[in-house]
Amino acid sequence: MTNSPAAATAARPLVLADVLPGVRARDAVLVFAGAALTALLAQISIPIPPSPVPVTGQTLAVGIVGATLGARRGATSMLLYALAGLFLPVYADGSHGWEVITGASGGYIIGFIVAAYVIGAMAERAADRKVLTAGLAFIAAQLIVFAFGLVGLKLAVGADWGWTVHNGFTIFIIGGLIKAAVGAAVLPSAWRLARRFERV
């Protein structure tokens, strides 16, 4: 008999990735796909002088990857992206190498790993299934990215905190809110679609 509450809970998908069949092969493919999506959206890069950090689609990818894959797989996917960029041109504007990690954008990239884990953990607790909580989860993940990013930016540039906060955070607020709104719309819609397929 497998009709116990524990068995029912174990079978219930925690995040969108769990809707797909398979385990190890599925997880490996999804982790790679998450890193690839981040690399793709990193090429959407808009400079905002005088900031040395461009606006990119990376933080949107981090939120989507973390929420859909969950904490462990999401963080692993971002770690793979960060490591791949040491050798392959997958960072913003096709850049790569250790100098990017130690440069103005390096802190943000490190922050991707932690942010993906946090939003993944929130998604595992159903935060991505409603518009309001999905939006708040995206905002929380982006704040984590900015926290790491600001430290890295200050260390790389050596400017004071006023300059660092303005050029590493304040000018990105509107873009961050837009990305949160996209995530708040996409994730609950994906869940509704997934439930439809489960009933078919």
Q: What is the pLDDT of residues 157-172, one digit of tens each?
A: 999 999 999 999 999 9
Arithmetic mean of pLDDT, 191-197: 81
pLDDT at position 196, please?
A: 77
pLDDT at position 188, please?
A: 93
Q: 11 falls in which pLDDT band (50, 70, 90)?
A: low
Which letter, b or e, does each residue of 129-152 get, where b requires 16 or more Cβ atoms within 10 Å of its Cβ? Answer: beeebbbebbbbbbebbbbbbbbb
Angstrom distance (rounded) from CA 4 to CA 60: 38
Lowest mean pLDDT among 1-5, 91-95, 97-101: 1-5
